[in-house]
Amino acid sequence: MEIKSVGVVGAGQMGNGIAHVMALAGYDVRLNDVRQESLDKAVDLIGKNLDRQVSREKISQEERDTALARISTTMEIAEVADTDLVIEAATEKEDVKHKIFESILPSLRPNTILTSNTSSISITRLASRTDRPEKFMGFHFMNPVPVMQLVELIRGIATDQETYAACLGVVEKLGKTAASAEDFPAFIVNRILIPMINEACYTLYEGVGNVSSIDTAMKLGANHPMGPLELADFIGLDTCLAIMNVLHDGLADTKYRPCPLMTKYVEAGWLGRKTKRGFYDYR
């Protein structure tokens, strides 16, 4: 089936990046959020990120303007349902995601593919609460979406081949590369990446190094573009903690125990860049 229009639910960090790359690739995009303020902020940010690409001569001014014009925003979830592909990119909380799918189902076209950008939650479980488990799958982008090459594609137990092929076609049209992952907690990238970040938190918690030495060690010693604590701030400590909990619960292994320091920071509301305070102070 041919995908021409894409509905994106959630206009946060991931949702606005997804809307950006979809519009640039030629899809008509409907971006939805429960708050008008979030939608306005997202469109403003997409404009700025497109400007950045123009200034680095990655895209022309005309491509920028056309892409921005392809994005419409709405607070009505039913308007998002009238598209060929829906990508849910709301917060990493399972009950929120179930509620979004419940609210979108009554207006969804019969053939629309339903996907989630979840970074860790079971695709099979999310799909089982919809009317179309065979047309449901995981469509997981990396942050920052316009820059990162990878999209993880995750098939639930019932996902059919036609749905997988259609999503793979979208990834190719975006000029990105797909990695296919089986539906187990946190899939591939976060199964490996988030325990590394958690271990960096333990390294700090146990006083093996300080924030600066841990990040410098991994940047210069392992050639990572960001140190693990800087990356945790970038991803959001709440998201990192949610993923560790999914790994801990889903795989029932103490090696995935979230570091108490990560839990404490989240309880304090020190979630990283988005709250201007995490392992670093951005105020």
Residues making contact with ligand CAA (CB under 6 A): 49, 52-53, 56, 58, 119, 142-144, 146-148, 189-190, 193, 225-226, 231, 235, 239
Measured from the CB atom, the residue of 142 and 181 that comes closer to ligand CAA is 142
Q: Which residues contact 82 (CB under 8 A, 6 or more apart)?
A: 5, 7, 30, 107, 109
Closest approach of Cβ 266 to ligand CAA, in Å?
15
Closest approach of Cβ 106 to ligand CAA, in Å?
29
3-state class (DSSP) for residue 85: strand
Measured from the CB atom, the residue of 207 and 225 that comes closer to ligand CAA is 225
Q: Which two tokens stand for residue 41?
A: 């902020």
Q: Which residues contact 57 (CB under 8 A, 6 or more apart)?
A: none
Active-site residue (options: 119, 120, 122, 198): 119
Measured from the CB atom, the residue of 84 and 238 that comes closer to ligand CAA is 238
The residue number whose beta carbon is nearest to ligand CAA equals: 119
149-183 in b/e form (b: 16+ CB < 10 A) is eebbbbbbebbeeebbebbeebbeebebebeebeb
Please indicate if the annotation marks 274 as binding a ligand.
yes
Closest approach of Cβ 82 to ligand CAA, in Å?
28
- Asked if 32 contacts 75 with a C-beta cutoff of 8 angstroms, the reply is yes
Is 49 designated active site? Answer: no
Radius of gyration of the chain (CA): 19
Measured from the CB atom, the residue of 146 and 156 that comes closer to ligand CAA is 146
- Region of residue 230 (phi > 0: left; psi between -120 and 50: alpha; otherwise: beta): alpha
- Residue numbers belonging to the annotated binding site for NAD(+): 10-15, 33, 92, 97, 119, 143, 274
| Catalytic residue ranges | 119, 140, 152, 190
- Residue numbers belonging to the annotated binding site: 10-15, 33, 92, 97, 119, 143, 274
